[in-house]
Structures are given as structure tokens and as C-alpha cells.
């Protein structure tokens, strides 16, 4: 129980800090946290982590159009399932989950903007325009998600191996030194 709380608080803190600190537009650790939470935490905890993090950061950043907000929050909950489908951390699995999550988020949220807002006509051309206008945000988000996912899952592997005595701080240092000297 204690580990679940610590992991959840750390992940929530990463998202809140990532959203509140200056950053490249849409490049935050949010989706990487969804995936890692889905991988390491029980389902209810995993789903709660990004939702709580979003709510806390939205208290500061401001709430927005309810149908879009519900789509964003719902998408985050679903994306934690993508993380739970990663049975073993392998680079190609993390890459696939990250890209699938970014794409899913792009499709669902831009559809919600088109369907519930007044920015775009309610036609197929309007829907395509909504997706076209979202492309710059998608590019930054996908790149950020890939980087943050790689860093977070990599850090998780290192922490897991250190905790289970598969590697030690000394062996990590020796490996770094041997790579540097060699």
C-alpha cells in the first residue's frame, strides 16, 4: 500500500509540475504517466493518477468547455489501459503504446472540439479542418510522449533492478566509467 501511495504521489507531482512549468506546447509527461501508471499500479490507482493530476493542474490553469474536458479526462483514463497492456518493458512496446496513446488522444480530443464547439462547421470538411489545426499540437505531444515514456520506463527499470539487487549503484557507476573510458 505504501509503495502505491508513493508512486502515485510522485507521478501526480510529475504531471502537475510538467503542466505548470514552462514547456514546449503540449509536450508534458502526462501520457507517459498514464502508461507507466497503467503498467505499475492496480487499475483503479492507475486511472486515478492522471485524473487527479489533471484536476490539480486544472485548478491552476483553469477549467474549460465541459464536453471537451470530459473527453480529455476520459481519454486519459482509457490510455492507462494501454500501459496495462505492456506486459514486459521492451523499447518497441513502450514506443507502440506511446504512439498509440498520442494518436488516440489526438483523434478523440479533436473530434470533441469539432462536435461540441462552435469553432468548426459541423460538416466533414469542418471535421478535417479540426484535425488539420490540431497537427502542430500532435507533433509536439507525440515527440514529448516518446521522450517522457522512454525516460520514465527507463528510470523504472533502473529503480526496479536496484531495488531487487540485480544492479547496484556501484555497478551502474562502473558501467558508465567503462563506457566512457572504452
Asked whether residue 64 carries a pLDDT value surpassing 80, the answer given is yes
pLDDT of residue 173: 56
Q: CB neighbours (10 Å) of residue 134? A: 19
**What rounded mean pLDDT belongs to the chain?**
90
Q: Alpha helix (H) ranges present in the chain?
A: 2-20, 30-40, 43-61, 66-84, 91-116, 124-163, 169-181
Q: Domains in the chain, ordered, with CATH? A: 2-181 (1.10.1760)
| Residue of 24, 52, 27, 23 lying closest to 37 (CA atoms) | 52
137/144 Cα distance (integer angstroms): 11
Asked whether residue 142 carries a pLDDT value surpassing 60, the answer given is yes
* Mean pLDDT on 59-69: 92
19-29: b or e for each residue (b if 16 or more CB lie within 10 Å)? beeeeeebbbb
Reduced to 3 states, what is the DSSP secondary structure of residue 21? coil
Residue 176 pLDDT > 70, yes or no? Answer: no
**What confidence score (pLDDT) does residue 8 get?**
92
pLDDT at 169 over 60: no
Q: pLDDT tens-digit profile of 80-133?
A: 999 999 989 999 999 999 999 999 999 999 999 999 978 899 999 999 999 999
- The 3-state secondary structure of 138-158 reads HHHHHHHHHHHHHHHHHHHHH
Distances (CA, A) of 50 to 56, 63, 86, 118, 175: 10, 16, 18, 28, 35
Q: Report the C-alpha gap between 156 and 154 in whole angstroms.
A: 5
Amino acid at each position: 500500500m505504501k509503495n502505491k501511495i508513493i508512486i502515485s504521489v510522485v507521478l501526480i507531482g510529475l504531471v502537475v509540475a510538467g503542466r505548470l512549468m514552462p514547456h514546449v506546447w503540449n509536450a508534458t509527461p502526462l501520457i507517459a504517466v498514464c502508461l507507466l501508471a497503467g503498467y505499475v499500479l492496480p487499475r483503479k490507482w492507475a486511472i486515478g493518477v492522471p485524473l487527479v493530476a489533471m484536476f490539480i493542474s486544472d485548478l491552476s490553469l483553469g477549467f474549460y468547455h465541459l464536453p471537451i474536458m470530459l473527453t480529455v479526462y476520459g481519454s486519459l483514463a482509457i490510455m492507462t489501459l494501454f500501459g496495462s497492456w505492456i506486459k514486459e518493458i521492451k523499447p518497441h512496446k513502450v514506443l507502440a503504446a506511446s504512439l498509440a496513446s498520442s494518436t488516440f488522444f489526438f483523434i478523440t480530443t479533436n473530434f470533441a472540439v469539432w462536435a461540441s464547439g462552435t469553432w468548426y462547421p459541423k460538416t466533414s470538411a469542418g471535421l478535417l479542418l479540426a484535425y488539420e489545426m490540431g497537427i502542430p499540437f500532435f507533433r509536439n505531444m507525440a515527440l514529448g510522449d516518446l521522450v517522457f515514456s522512454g525516460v520514465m520506463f527507463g528510470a523504472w527499470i533502473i529503480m526496479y533492478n536496484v531495488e531487487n539487487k540485480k544492479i547496484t549503484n556501484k555497478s551502474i557507476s562502473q558501467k558508465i566509467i567503462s563506457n566512457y573510458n572504452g
